[in-house]
Structure 1
Amino acid sequence: MSSSTPSRLWDISPTVSPDAPIFPGDEPYHLRWTAQLAPGCPVNLSALTMSPHVGAHADAPLHYAHDAPAIDAVPLDTYLGRCRVIHAIGAAPLITVKHLQHAESQLPPRVLVRVCQRADTVWNPAFTAYAPEAIAWLAERGVKLIGIDTPSVDPADSKVLDSHQQLRRLDLRVLENLVLDDVPEGDYELIALPLKLQGACASPVRAILRELP
Structure 2
Amino acid sequence: MANWIDISQPLTNDMAHWPGDTPFRYSLTYSKVETGSVNIGQMTASLHTGTHVDAPFHYDSNGKTIDQLNLDRYIGEAIVVDVSQSNVINLEVLKQADLRGCKRVLLKTSLTNDPKRFPDTMPSIAPEIAAYLQEKGVTLLGVDIPSVDQADSKDLETHHALYRHGINILENIMLDHVNPGLYELIALPLAIQGADGSPVRAVIKPLSEKERTDR
Per the TM superposition, whether the score is higher than 0.5 is yes
TM tier, shorter chain?
A: over 0.9
Alpha-carbon distance between aligned partners in 2 of 1:204 and 1:100, rounded to the nearest angstrom: 27
Q: Structure 1 stretch 203-212 or stretch 35-44: which is displaced more? A: 35-44
Paired letter, 1:204: P
Size of the alignment, in residue pairs?
207
> 1:3 — aligned with what?
none
The 3 A distance-change label for structure 1 pair 109 and 34 is: same
Q: Structure 1 stretch 26-35 or stretch 143-152: which is displaced more? A: 26-35
Backbone CA RMSD of aligned residues: 1.4
Paired letter, 1:133: E
Deviation for aligned residue 1:105 = 4.9
Q: TM-score, normalised by structure 1?
A: 0.92
The 3 A distance-change label for structure 1 pair 169 and 24 is: same
Q: TM-score, normalised by structure 2?
A: 0.91
List alignment gaps of at least 5 residues for structure 1.
1-5
List alignment gaps of at least 5 residues for structure 2.
none
Alpha-carbon distance between aligned partners in 1 of 2:96 and 2:182, rounded to the nearest angstrom: 14
Is 1:128 matched with 2:123?
yes
> 1:115 — aligned with what?
109
Aligned to 1:62, the other structure's residue is in SS state: helix
> 1:87 — aligned with what?
82
The 3 A distance-change label for structure 1 pair 191 and 105 is: closer
Aligned to 1:103, the other structure's residue is in SS state: coil
Q: Is this contact kept in 2: 1:35–1:41, CA < 8 A?
A: no
Q: Is this contact kept in 1: 2:30–2:40, CA < 8 A?
A: yes
- Report matched runs for 1:105-184 at 5 Å: 105-116=99-110, 118-121=112-115, 122-184=117-179
Deviation for aligned residue 1:113 = 0.4
Aligned to 1:157, the other structure's residue is in SS state: coil
> 1:96 — aligned with what?
90
> 1:29 — aligned with what?
24
Q: Is this contact kept in 2: 1:22–1:54, CA < 8 A?
A: yes
Q: Is this contact kept in 2: 1:84–1:107, CA < 8 A?
A: no
Q: Structure 1 stretch 125-134 or stretch 196-205: which is displaced more? A: 125-134
Alpha-carbon distance between aligned partners in 2 of 1:105 and 1:70, rounded to the nearest angstrom: 28
Deviation for aligned residue 1:125 = 3.0
